[in-house]
Amino acid sequence: MRYFLALLALSYLGAALCVWWLSGFVPWFLLPDFPLLAILFAGLFVQGVTGFLCAIPPAIFREITTSAPSWSMFLGSMAVYFVAREIGRRIYIRTEPHLLAVVVSLMAGESLSIALLLSLAGASPLSLLWGAQEAVRIAWTSLIAVPLFLDLADRWRRVKE
């Protein structure tokens, strides 16, 4: 229950901060994707049904706050959750470089899956500018994810002990 409330608060606060407060002042690719970070944390570190329940509200926040075709962000987010869950079950992640590599690869995969869904919907999202913006977004959000994930995992480990 604590994970659920913490990730719900993190994803809602991050979505509200980025979408409603900063979106007019800061370019979208410089805003960290906190709901996606909550989904990735739930997949990598929260086991079982609790992780799945923790991933649903941030996926809904992403669906509501983006201007993508219906269900594309939700389905892309849940796909990233299931891939992150499999990685979290099979790989023991403790060091920063490993965690950074996992988060970058998951975000790149999510970005490509969303581009594929948009292409199937009839839009043409792929361009050189889009690729540069996505690279900046992935790098920036991944660099925020590493200390955040390690701190949350360490705090949870101390609470359980």
Can you state the angle between helices 34-45 and 96-120, rounded to 10 degrees? Answer: 120
| pLDDT at site 161 | 65
Residue boundaries of the structural domains of the chain: 2-160
pTM of the prediction? 0.83
Per-residue pLDDT tens digits for 131-140: 888 889 899 8
Per-residue pLDDT tens digits for 8-46: 777 777 777 766 666 677 777 777 888 888 899 889 888
